[in-house]
Structure 1
Amino acid sequence: MTVLERAAKIDPIGSGLAIAANALRALDTLDLGDPIRKLSRLQGQGGIRRHDGRWLVRTTTEAADARFGDSVVVMLRATLMDVLVDALGADRLRLGTTVTGVEAEGGVVRTDDGDLAADLIVAADGIHSKTRQALFPEHPGPTYAGVTAWRGLIPRGDLTISGSESWGRGLVFGITPMADDMVYVYATDVLPAGTVLGDELEELRRRFGDWHEPIPTLLRTADPAKIIRNDIHYLRTPLPSYHKGKVALVGDAAHAMPPNLGQGACQAIEDAITLAYLTNTSSGIGHGNGSGGGIDTHSGTDLAAYTAARLERTTAVVRRSMSICKVTQLRNPAAVWLRDFGMSLAARLSPDLMLRSMNDLLGWQPPTASAGGEHGPTPRA
């Protein structure tokens, strides 16, 4: 197997990344789950709060562990990349190689360094995937989700931090403690696509400076250089297939979604493990858009089975994530009050509501020979 990566080096772009029970279970099949757990931090208490700090819905690591046999860990994206690259092996990774096209039926990858032949081509080239555009030229491509998103890393200092996501009128602010006394923060606001702002940190302080602690304190101590922002896009129209010829699409190239469920990376990991199980060639070529993707493959090539296993599930995850994104965009005071009241009431009537609602996501099991393929969740009802 050969992995082609456009970047000249594995750049530690991005910030925090959540890896939930379903993705950890998938990584366990490669003996990578435990290394990831050791290098990350449990998310701990989680849930949704109002902008003034009052809890609407909440849960704990212990409750998630009891239901799913695992919880959610959070780590730097760069750390995850280091683990994956080490597992891949430097001899299989070709940096600084740009893929200029693929020949799906013949299994040919065209690069700026010449053509390569492959039994399987795995395209992990992101939401603006050129491979997807070439395979499905009639597909409309990404759609703006209606929000822009900030992400950043801030030293914890002497603050006591617990994970939460707070909702206001069209605004969201998330806090997640990480290893090495760092805190991963993220925020969204409803803005027209392509809006240009000046000082991103000052924009955050203006929007969230009067929210509940520790949000204002974190923003006061943040380094402007550690704050990044990008508009959120997703694939509103599902692809007709996740494969064509000898090419398989994975991750954002196949099913880009808003981040509201924290499942973007998790679903990509599920893709990779499922594809690995359903294919039998060891000479596949993977290529990415800065992520260093690619997998070993084994056990009976069947790309139609890959599409069958992944298309319906990931389409549902995209739609569900976008549904939550739309709910966070509410600005009308009456609509926001009804949203918050409904969530709070539902949580009081059913305290385990938040976890039960995630059964189908977090209960996913990797395909196994004894199961004959991918099978569904097995969490406690």
Structure 2
Amino acid sequence: MGGSAVVVGGGIGGPAAAIGLRRIGWEVTVVERAAVPADAGAGISLHANGLRALDVLGVGPAVRAAAPVHRGYPCPRWRLAGPDGRDRSRTRAGHTDRRHPRAVLHELLRTALPSGCLVTRAEVAFVDRSTAGRVRIPLDDAVLEADLVVAADGVGSRLRAQLLPRHPGPAYSGSTVVRAVTERPVDLATDFEPTWGKGAEFGHIAFTDGRAEWHAVLNSPPGVRYSDALDAMRRRFGTWHDPIPALLDATRPDTLLHHDVHELVTPVPAFTAGRIVLLGDAAHAMTPHLGQGACQALEDAAVLAAVLATGPTVESALTRYDAERRPRTRSVARAARPAGRMGQQLTHPVAVAVRNTALRLAPSRTTVHAVLQHADWTPPGLDRRHRTRRSPLNSRSSTCSWNVAPRCRPTGPAGSRPRP
């Protein structure tokens, strides 16, 4: 089964879904409202399940090559600490992930798509399902028609709101996050190190070039912003253990990102509606305390390609996707919420002391397992009969937008197309 698809959202899940669909012979256009990803200045850590999903999509080797080793060590060095620098837990976690600046992963995914497949500065506010067997997507000065629409437009998804008008939508988690990537290398003793205080966490992810991503997660009312965010972080974390002050000192003030953390506390009743499918945060936005948000979106993309490769119809394939992905993502989201409440969000002194004692007494492998157990996922395989001959990493010479598939071209005025 093949066809045409429009993917709404150019973050991580959207391009990954497009790669998977093209791999099984679909023509795909990705529509992104921004010129560049809004969180390109941050970092990302991909657990084993995310890497396995990328393998299914054919881009796993490129992602591994971009972060081949953990700064020269065979296993990532992991530590959970307190503000005074004392260990809560420490271990070598094994070959579980790769760490990148998020912009690198975005670039790898976009490079795997043909030139012209991604349309930026084009916003999709709603879709028209009135045409039998087809979906119409109005853009600024054109209309796309497709056999499938993938709504990967994030936690504030407009398409989810259209499809599920009674769903309450995202809720504020109680946490806000400030993050940045250092301008220069920093001497770090660990590859990944969260530090838990009362109602706050400061963590870093080491990159292979010596720089690092750091993130500060704080209990906060929604909407609070700082006139000088870096100065505010120095006042909040400047007395915490090394290398936290060094990470802040290696950061330019104009590079900080600040986002409130929202999640879908109420699970959506379905990931599909007709020929429209929700993917990534649009379907199951969760708190970041297990580091599984992007990984779950990549799993979504791999499963979507697999079910469409083998399903007799789009509708039957999407039914299978919904049946496989909703229980899995709901389980991970349910686990992420208490991980935050017992970690970064905990404030009561007695509760904090009990937690710290429990962590100190527990075997380090137990602590790591509690975080990494959700990376234990077996990916689906793509039927080789349905794969395109080209690897997505070698397909930039082909085209994938307005002139490749009659079923995916604009139906507006002759020669019209969305504004670049």
Fold equivalence (TM over 0.5): yes
Give the CA deviation at 1:196.
2.7
Q: 2:142 aligns with which of 114, 119, 140?
A: 114
Q: Does residue 326 of structure 2 align to residue 311 of structure 1? A: yes
Which of 71, 83, 89 is the aligned partner of 2:108?
Answer: 83
After superposition, where does 1:114-133 map in structure 2 within 5 Å? 114-133=142-161
Which residue does the alignment assign to 2:242?
A: 213
Inter-CA distance 252–11: structure 2 relative to 1 (3 Å threshold):
closer
Q: Is the 8 A contact 2:187 2:210 kept in 1?
A: no
Aligned position for 1:335: 351
The answer as to whether partners of 1:243 and 1:249 remain within 8 angstroms in 2 is yes
Rg comparison, structure with higher value: 2
Q: Is the 8 A contact 1:101 1:111 kept in 2?
A: no
Map of 1:29-178 to 2, 5 A cutoff?
Answer: 29-40=56-67, 42=70, 44-61=76-93, 64-65=94-95, 71-104=96-129, 106=131, 107-157=135-185, 159-162=187-190, 163-178=192-207
Structure 1 residues 14 and 249 mapped into 2: Cα distance closer, same or farther (>3 Å)?
Answer: farther
Q: Tell me by how many angstroms 1:12 deviates.
A: 6.7
Q: Mark the CA change 1:220 to 1:308 in structure 2 (over 3 Å): closer, same or farther.
A: same
Contact 2:305 2:382 in 1 (8 A): no
* CA positional deviation for 1:317: 1.1
In structure 1, what is the Cα distance between the partners aligned to 2:222 and 2:126? 29
Q: Deviations over 1:85-122 (max 9, x none)?
A: 11111132222222131124642212213222111110
Bigger relative contact order, structure 1 or 2 (CA pairs below 8 A, ≥6 apart): 2
1:317 is aligned with what amino acid? Answer: V
Change beyond 3 A, Cα 1:128–1:53: same
Cα distance, 1:179 vs structure 2: 2.8
User: Aligned pairs, how many?
Assistant: 344
Against the structure 1 CA distance between its residues 299 and 166, is the aligned structure 2 distance closer, same or farther, given a 3 Å change threshold? farther
265, 273, 276: which one aligns with 1:247: 276
**Equivalent position amino acid for 1:224 in 2:** P
| Residue-by-residue CA offset, 1:94-153 (whole Å, 9 max, x unaligned) | 222221311246422122132221111101101100000000000001111101101111
| Structure 1 residues 218 and 369: alpha-carbon distance in aligned structure 2, compared to 1, 3 A threshold | closer
What does residue 259 of structure 1 align with? 288
Secondary structure at the aligned position of 1:22 is classed as helix
Match of 2:223 among 180, 188, 194: 194
How far apart, CA to CA, are the structure 1 residues paired with 2:258 and 2:36? 22
Which amino acid in structure 2 is aligned with residue 49 of structure 1? A
Classify the secondary structure of the residue corresponding to 2:116.
helix
Could you say which residue in structure 1 is the equivalent of 2:370? 357
Instruction: Please list the CA deviations of residues 229-288 of structure 1 after superposition, one character each: whole Å capped at 9, or x if unmatched.
Output: 1111110000000010100010110011111111111100000010111114xxxxxxxx
Q: How far has the Cα of 1:298 moved from its partner?
A: 7.9
Asked if structure 2 preserves the Cα contact closer than 8 Å seen for 1:59 and 1:354, the reply is no
2:255 to 210, 219, 226: 226
Q: Describe the SS at the equivalent of 1:197.
A: coil
Q: Are 1:108 and 1:115, in contact at CA under 8 Å, matched by a contact in 2? A: yes
CA contact (8 A) 1:276 1:298 kept: no
Distance in 2, matches of 1:298 and 1:94, equals 28
Q: 1:231 to 1:84 in 2, by over 3 A?
A: same
Cα shift readout 1:283-329 (whole Å, capped 9, x = no counterpart) = xxxxxxxxxxxxxx988631111111011111111121111111221
3-state DSSP class of the match of 2:125? strand
For the structure 1 residues 12 and 326, does the alpha-carbon distance in structure 2 shift closer, same or farther, using more than 3 Å as the test? closer
- Taking structure 1 as the reference length, the TM-score comes to 0.85
What does residue 377 of structure 1 align with?
none
Q: Do the aligned partners of residues 114 and 153 (structure 1) sit closer, same or farther apart at CA in structure 2, a change above 3 Å counting?
A: same
Q: Distance in 2 between matches of 1:23 and 1:159?
A: 28
Counterpart in the other structure of 2:20? none
Could you report, residue by residue, the CA deviation over 1:199-258 in whole angstroms, capped at 9, with x for unpaired residues? 101111111111111111222332111211111111000000001010001011001111
Change over 3 Å in CA distance of 1:74–1:174 after alignment to 2: same
Q: Report the TM-score when normalising by structure 2.
A: 0.77
Could you say if the C-alpha distance between residues 168 and 117 of structure 1 is closer, same or farther in structure 2, counting changes exceeding 3 Å?
same
Alignment partners' CA distance in 1, 2:271 and 2:39:
28
Aligned-pair CA distance for 1:342: 1.3
Question: Are 1:345 and 2:361 counterparts?
Answer: yes
- Unmatched 5+ stretches in structure 2: 1-27, 384-420
- Distance in 2 (CA, whole Å) between partners of 1:112 and 1:105 is 19
> What secondary structure is seen at the aligned counterpart in 1 of 2:324?
helix
Identity %: 38
The corresponding residue for 2:33 is 6
Distance across 2 between alignment mates of 1:158 and 1:146: 31
Counterpart-to-counterpart distance in 1, 2:302 and 2:130: 23
Instruction: Give 2:291's aligned amino acid.
Output: G
